[in-house]
Structure formats: structure tokens, C-alpha cells
A and B are shown apart, each in its own frame.
Chain A
Amino acid sequence: MEKDSRPKWDNPTQFLLACVSYAIGLGNVWRFPYLCQMHGGGGFLIPYLLMLFLEGLPLFCLELGIGQKMRQGSVGTFSSINPYLGGVGLASVMTSLYLCLYYNIINAWSFWYLFNSFQSVLPWAECPINTNRTGPVEECERSSPTQYFFFRETLDISSSIEVNGGVHTGQALCLLLAWVITYLFVVKGVKSTGKVVYFTATFPYFVLVIYLIRGVTLHGAANGIKYMFTPKLEQLANPTTWINAATQIFFSLGLGFGSLIAFASYNEYNNNFERQAIAVSLINSGTSIFASIVTFAIYGFKRCVCVTRLLLLNTFDIAEDNITLDTALDWVRELNMTYPEKFAEIADQLQTCDLEKELDTAVEGTGLAFIVYSEAITNMPLSQLWSVLYFFMLLMLGMGSMLGNITGVITPLRDFKFFSKMSNELLNGIVCLFCFLLGLGFSTPSGNYWFTMFNDYGASFSLLFIVFFESIAIVYIYGMKRFEKDMEDMVGHRPNWYWKIMWKVVSPLLLLVVITFYIVGYIQGGTPTYHAWKKDFDIKLHIV
């Protein structure tokens, strides 16, 4: 029977590392620090950890359990529960497919930055010179070298989503490379994936530790970390905080894509998934917190204070020694009082080096990873080394998640008779090729707008829906009693009261609440808008 010839992980560690590698992705690095800062610093940990135990952990364990029991992909699993539920599995596959299409472009960008780090001067450290050789390129001067490098040289972004153009060759090549590597990692299914995850799961930690050590020695690191962790408990009264915590935990764990079910389906029947679920969830949250410490340490005040200090020195002709990075902001206040007219002249050039304001300027997502971080890197000595380390880490995080995504598509496909006859290599190759060709659309000038659209809407609300139906299906349609018996069969003991209460009541209820909030948000939000990069104007504008 096919079940006996189903490929397996070499050992439970591979499965654990695969889950870790999949769950810990770019969101841990670029979304969590932003949320933390937005919702009251250290205080955000309270709703975050609460949601972890109320919703994240139970749902994670549920998906692993059902996958290990059914030993099929998401489509097969839910069809086995009830033929009419096959749609839930299909929805998972579709969402995974969307994710596969647009996620690898991030890896392409990481490759682009990685390759461009092998130069004596990092290309995003300075503005390129215009054709007349009179000064830096105007677009670059108006924004900043890092922004210019990202929006112009990497993306070659157009002014709106309607304006298109040809494919950016560099991007297309990097995307090709990303897909070729993905294929290499999954070509033999679990056998190849299992070996790769040893590296993709562990290397990011190695880099994060190095960065942490580097970060805490940077000027302003202590301030950054202190600011981040000072709890502002008033934020807890805001319902958005709780909703954001719930959604962050949810998306961070990668529930609903079918990848976890797929990974678990390759387990030994008696694998202790309960313990592994707890381990992975805790590791995931721990990494988010750790990554945000690093981010805040690195980012800190440095650049803004440097610029302010220089401005003060030059306008008021004060000796260089007198104003240091520590005293710069005190001097601002003093000079404002003693020379108000002269100060007023430069007031508009002076940036308020307020960490809150700095971080308010949309420092999440690709903006944080590719613009802010790369700017921080240019300020470090030996910036090429730091750049290579950092973008390699981003690649490991992204590739690890891609493995899960692509497995979430391929494993359910193999549930269908038609595809199961194909060899592993051929099916994986076809899927990778298909996703690559469609993904080329993201490397066009308007690609980043499409990417934002996919990122914000492609796999957010639908996932909540899917997981809600998953939990109802397993707990009520498949039956709690049957699942308890299965768990006893597999692991050796029945689930205790915590699991039962969460699965039966709390998690579905929480999901329902979050779904309602989303729907209300959509209705109240009106027509969605996006930020566009206007070449000739000031940095970014809203466009409907």
C-alpha cells in the first residue's frame, strides 16, 4: 500500500528542524519588532504570549496531530474526515500556491543584495553620480542612497501599479536562482529537505548572535533596547493590540497552509508530536523576541544623531570635541534657547531624533529589512562582511519558509492519483517551473505593488477562515473522542484538559473574533490604498 512506501524523515530531529525552519521566517525579523514598538514595547509581550497559549499552540498541535494520523497532505486529510471537506484542503493548497508565487521574490532580492555586497564600496552606501558628473543623481539625493538602491536599482519601480515595463534582468536571474535552489532542496522530497533543514534552521541563530554582540557595542543600542522594552501598559486597553497579537502568532506559526500537515504526514506513527509542537511554538516566539532585541540594538539613534551633530557643528561653528553623539540632543535644546533666530533657520533640516518617530516611518516589512538594516550596515566598519552575513541569514530564513510552502503544495498534489504516478523529481520540477514563470511578474517595474497586494491580502484573511474550518472539522466532525483515541495510540497518552478546552472552545472562538474584526476592518477601511514611489516628487505618496 502506498502508506508503507511513504517517504519518512530520517529522524524526529529533522521533522522538528523542518517545522522550526518553516515557522521562523522573515516575519519574525521584520514584523514582530514593529508590532512590539507600536503596541507598547515590553507590554506587548503580554497579549502575545497569552495568544500563543490560547490559540497558537493548540492549533499548531492540532495540525501536526491530524497530519501524523492521516499521513496524507491537506486535501487527502480532510477528504478522509469527510469527502465534502476536501475543499478545506484545496483552499490550503491555493493559499500555499499564492505564497509560493510571491514569497520567492523576497529571496531574489536577498540574493541581489548578497551578490552586490562583494564590492569595495557597498552600492547602497553612496549615491551614484549623474551623467554630468556634477553631483549625485537627483532622485537619490532627494531620498537616500539606501532607498534609491532599493527602489531604483533593485526594483526599478514604476510610478503606479498600472505602469508596466519589461522584466528586470537582474531580478529575473536572482528569481531563477532562488527557484533552482528551492528545486534542489525539494527534488527528492523529504529525503533532501530533511538534510537541508539542519542548516537553514540553525544558521540564522548563529548570525543573530553575532549581530547581537555587534549591536550592543554600537552607540545608542542601550537606548534602543530600553525604549523597546519599557512597557506602556495603556496600549493593552486598545483592542487592536490584542487582535494584532492574535494575528501575529497565527501567521508566524504558518498555520492553515497545509505545510504542517504535510510535514507531519511524513512522520513515524509514534512520533511525539505534542512535545514537538510545544517546542516549535516556544522557539518561534523566543526567536521573535530575540530578533527584535537585535533590531532595536542595531537601529538605535546613531544615524540621526550623527546628522544632527554635524548640522549643529557647521551652523554654529562649535569645536568638534564639544558636541559628541551623547550630548548632541542636549546641545539642540541649549542652542535653541541661546540663538533662537539662527536655530530657526535650520529647524526644518533638523530631524527630531525621536526613536518613536524614526520607527513610525513604516519600518516593517521590506522597508525594515532592505532599507533600514542595510543603512545600519553601511555605518559599521567592515560593512561588506556584515552585509554578507545579514543577507545570507535573510536567505536562510526565506528559504526555510519556502521549503514549507512548496511542500504544502506538492504533498497534497501527490494525494491525487494523477500526480502520484509521476516521479518526485518531475512533479517538483513542474511546480517550481510554474511558480517561477508566474513569479516573473513580480520582477517587473510595477512588481513591488503587486507584491504588496499579495502580501497584504493574498494569504491573510483566507487563512483565518481555513484554520477555523480546520479546527471545527477536526474537533466536531472528526470528533474529539476519536482524536483523543488517535493521540493515545500515537503518543501514548490522551490530551489533558488544557488541550481539550483550547481545541473545543477557546481557539475556535478566538478565531471567530479575529475574523469578525477583519471583516469589520475591511468594510470600514474603504478602498484600499498603496504607497507609490514617485520619481520626480518627494519620497512617497498615497495613491488610491
Chain B
Amino acid sequence: MWKNTFFLFFILSACAEELCKPDASNGYKVRLSLKTALGDDAYTWNKNEMFLFQSTLAFAMRTSHTGQSYEISNIVVCNETDRVSFWFVVTSPGNPTELVENYIVEEAIRKSRHRINSAFLLTDKTLEFVGILPTLATPVSYDTPPWLIVFGVLMGIIVAGIIVLLASSIVKRKRKTRRTDEEEADEETRVKTMDNGVYNMSFSVEDKLTQM
């Protein structure tokens, strides 16, 4: 009996390996960029990490494809490289020789993408499923675009500055005309007091009258 089970297992795994190959029809290539994402804190990719991957993917399949209980053995991996990239296919739990259609796999990955990323401390960019585009986040839309706010602040300050400058120059001009009016009034009184004597031209203020 053990021999039979062993034989069956051997055949099954051989079949599974045949199912998984690069450019498999229902397979996907996965690429991880650990050093880019984590730098010095990057963990080494080993069999345990691969085990985690298979289990995470099985979890994703279970969540998406309700009713089917996927096992780790249903996630078949092959062609691992130093890059840390590999191909995988998903076999159907009921029939291990049959591959699950890629659109089902794609949907499963899309749904649980965030959970898969988190399991590996990676992001959409550093954990790539070649061919599956991440669902892009809704673009942040503002009620008032931020540039308008900064613009408004600056414009307000500048306009205030201009008004202050213009007002100060108008005030200065008014004060000057008032002062020259007063000076002219003084001049007149001074001239008047000289009515008794001879008016000596050399002592009068001539600058205002003659142009140089």
C-alpha cells in the first residue's frame, strides 16, 4: 500500500512539474525585489519563504474561489532563479492534473493583493506578478487643488503689500502739499512785515521761484 501511495505521489508530482513550466498557459511569473524594497533589512529567500508564498496564494484562491478548498500542494512552483523570480501554476483541488484558468487566478490575486504584499513586507512594485496589473489606487482628488491655496495666500500678501505702499505714498504726498501750503502762508506773512522798510531781495527765499 505504501508503495502504491508513494508511486501515485511520484506520478502526481511529476505531472505537476510538467504542468509548471516557463510561459505555461495558465501560469504566472512572480518577481520579488527584496533588496530594493527592504535594503539592509532584506531577508534571504529560501524554502521557508517559498512555503509562505504557496500558503498565501492558497489562501487567496480559497478566499476568491469560494467553495474550493485549495491546499499548498495545489500551488506548483518552478524555475526559481537568483533574481528571486519563479513561475507558478495552480492546480484544481478536485483534479490535480487540471490547471485552474488564469483569469480565476488573476482575480484571486487581485482581491488579496494587499494581504499577499503584507505577508512579505513588499509593495505592488517590489512583488510583481508579471501580467497582472495592480488595481490602482483612486487618485486623490482635492476639493480645492493645493496649488490654489498657496497661490491665494501669496497673492493676498502681495496685494496687501501693494495697497500699503500705495496708501503710504498718497498719505506722504498729501502731507507734503499741506506743508508747502503752510510754507507759502509763512512766506506771505514774512513779506508783509517788510512793508515798512525796503524789501531786500537778497534775503528772500528765491529757490522756489527760480529754476536752475
Interface residues of A (CB under 8 A from B): 1, 4, 111-112, 114-116, 118-119, 128-129, 133-135, 170, 173-174, 176-177, 180-181, 183-184, 187-188, 192, 313-314, 316-322, 425
Contacts and interface: CB of A to CB of B under 8 A. Distances in A.
A114 B154 CA distance: 12
Nearest to B82: A319
Contacts of B159: 180
A157 B157 CA distance: 31
B85 interface: yes
A177 B83 contact: no
Contacts of B149: 118
Contacts of A318: 82-83
B85 A317 contact: yes
Nearest to B212: A1
B33 A320 contact: yes
Interface string B128-167: 0000010110110000001111110011001101100110
B84 A319 contact: yes
A135 B136 contact: yes
Given A133-B136, A177-B151, A184 B212 contact: no
A184 B156 CA distance: 13
Nearest to A169: B148
B35 interface: yes
Nearest to B134: A135
B36 interface: yes
Given A129-B136, A183-B162, A184-B158, A170 B35 contact: no
B162 A321 contact: no
Contact of A115 (B33, B34, B136, B147): B147
Contact of B169 (A1, A170, A173, A188): A188
Given A118-B150, A180-B155, A320-B35, A4 B169 contact: no
A112 B159 CA distance: 18
B147 A118 contact: yes
Contact of B139 (A128, A170, A176, A313): A128
B145 to A, nearest CB: 8
Nearest to B161: A184
Contacts of A115: 146-148, 150-151
B36 A317 contact: no
A111 B82 contact: no
A437 B158 CA distance: 19
Interface of B: 31, 33-36, 81-85, 133, 135-136, 138-139, 146-151, 154-155, 158-159, 161-162, 165-166, 169, 211-212
Given A180-B159, A321-B35, A1 B211 contact: yes
Contacts of B84: 319-320
B89 to A, nearest CB: 18
A207 to B, nearest CB: 19
Given A314-B31, A314-B83, A188 B136 contact: no
A432 to B, nearest CB: 11
A112 B165 CA distance: 26
B158 A133 contact: no
Contact of B166 (A170, A176, A187): A187
Contacts of B35: 320-321
B158 A180 contact: yes
Interface-centre pick from A114, A134, A176, A320 (highest chain B CB count, 10 A): A320
Contacts of B83: 313-314, 316-320
B176 to A, nearest CB: 13
A472 to B, nearest CB: 34
B165 A181 contact: no
A322 B84 CA distance: 13
B166 to A, nearest CB: 6
Contacts of A111: 151
Given A318-B83, A319-B83, A173 B151 contact: yes
A385 B77 CA distance: 45
B212 A317 contact: no
Contacts of B151: 111, 115, 173-174, 177
A185 B148 CA distance: 23
A425 B166 contact: yes
B198 to A, nearest CB: 32
A187 B147 contact: no
A233 B195 CA distance: 89
Contact of A133 (B138, B146, B162, B211): B138
Contacts of A135: 133, 136
A116 B146 contact: yes
B139 to A, nearest CB: 5
A177 B158 contact: yes
Given A116-B146, A133-B138, A425 B36 contact: no
Given A115-B146, A115-B151, A184 B136 contact: no
B139 A129 contact: yes
Contacts of A4: 212
Contacts of B162: 180, 183-184, 187
B41 to A, nearest CB: 14
B137 to A, nearest CB: 8
A305 to B, nearest CB: 14
Given A187-B166, A321-B35, 10 more contacts: A115-B146, A115-B147, A129-B136, A129-B139, A174-B151, A187-B162, A314-B83, A320-B83, A322-B82, A425-B166
Nearest to B86: A317
16 contacts: A114-B150, A115-B146, A115-B150, A118-B149, A135-B133, A135-B136, A174-B151, A180-B158, A181-B158, A184-B162, A187-B166, A192-B165, A317-B85, A319-B82, A319-B83, A320-B34
Contacts of A425: 166, 169
A115 B33 CA distance: 35
A238 B170 CA distance: 60
Nearest to A180: B158
Contacts of B212: 1, 4
Contacts of B147: 112, 115-116, 118, 170
Contacts of B31: 314
The 3 A-B pairs of least Cβ separation, nearest first, read A115-B147, A317-B81, A317-B83
